């Protein structure tokens, strides 16, 4: 059963835009679109960076390596994981600063656009769930994402986060592809 398309074209306003980034080249290019739309609509812009981790990542990565190798990796990284958790507050501030620098650097390469102000949000966990939760809780009108990231096993999971966000989102998702990017 197909839904009926409205006869009248709605007046589209973007008052709150959620731009998600993993700090990849694709994300960098998507920021140009986020800044442009923010300026055009006078919208509020939030920059969301999710540090992937936890059991969800374990479940997805486990399928790509054998059990013995996975256990070795987990054992080797156990102390590092403990260190990260104890430094999490400080690291969160460092990540926030890094995301801010990322956005400022991209804006510096956009002389035709006035600088935009934005709020930076850093979360840790499953990117898809956290992007959807933030979009709903923040009452955003639009999500903007780069088409591909650079996370673990990039070639095996190309665009997985983007596809899952598009499927689950109740609001429009603008997926920005880097010009000349191979499929």
Domain that holds residue 168: 16-52+93-176
Nearest Cα neighbor of 38 from 17, 13, 20 is 17
Give every CB contact of residue 104 below 8 A, 6+ residues apart in sequence.
none
60 domain-assigned: no
Q: 88, 98, 90, 146: which is closest to 120 by C-alpha?
A: 98
Local structure of 26: helix, strand or coil: helix
* Residue of higher predicted confidence among 13 and 28: 13
Check which CATH number belongs to the domain holding 123 and give it.
Answer: 3.40.50.620
- Asked whether residue 161 is assigned to any structural domain, the reply reads yes
The DSSP secondary-structure symbol of 72 reads: H
How confident is the model at residue 95, as a pLDDT? 62
What does the pLDDT read at residue 15?
A: 96
In a domain, 86, yes or no: no
Alpha helices in the chain (DSSP H): 25-41, 55-62, 67-86, 88-108, 127-137, 160-168
Please tell me the predicted confidence (pLDDT) of residue 152: 47
Domain count, the chain: 1
User: Domain for residue 127, yes or no?
Assistant: yes
**Over residues 4-14, mean pLDDT:** 80
At 66 the pLDDT is 58
- List pLDDT tens digits, range 59-79: 555 455 556 665 665 555 555
Does a structural domain hold residue 107?
yes
User: Does any domain span residue 22?
Assistant: yes
Q: Is 170 helix (H, G, I), strand (E, B) or coil?
A: coil
Q: Facing residues of 173 across strands? A: 143
66 falls within a domain = no
Measure CA 145 to chain center: 6
Regarding predicted confidence, which is higher, 61 or 144?
A: 144
Is residue 62 a part of any domain in this protein?
no
Which token pair is 136? 């709903």
Tens digits of residue pLDDT in 89-136: 445 566 666 666 766 776 676 666 667 788 888 888 889 999 999 999
Per-residue confidence (pLDDT) for residue 151, from 0 to 100: 47
């Amino acid at each position: 059963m197909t839904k009926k398309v409205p006869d009248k074209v709605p007046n589209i306003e973007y008052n709150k835009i959620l731009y998600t980034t993993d700090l990849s080249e694709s994300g960098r290019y998507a920021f140009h679109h986020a800044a442009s739309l923010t300026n055009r609509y006078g919208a509020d812009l939030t920059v969301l960076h999710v540090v992937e981790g936890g059991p969800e990542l374990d479940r997805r990565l486990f399928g790509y390596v054998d059990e013995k190798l996975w256990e070795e990796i987990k054992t080797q990284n156990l102390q590092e994981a403990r260190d990260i958790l104890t430094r999490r507050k400080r690291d969160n501030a460092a990540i926030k600063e890094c995301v801010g620098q990322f956005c400022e650097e991209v804006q510096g390469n956009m002389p035709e656009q006035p600088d935009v102000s934005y709020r930076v949000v850093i979360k840790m966990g499953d990117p898809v769930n956290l992007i959807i939760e933030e979009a709903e809780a923040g009452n955003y009108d639009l999500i903007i994402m780069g088409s591909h990231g650079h996370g673990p096993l990039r070639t095996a999971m190309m665009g997985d986060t983007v596809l899952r966000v598009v499927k689950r989102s109740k609001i429009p998702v603008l997926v920005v592809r880097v010009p000349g990017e191979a499929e």
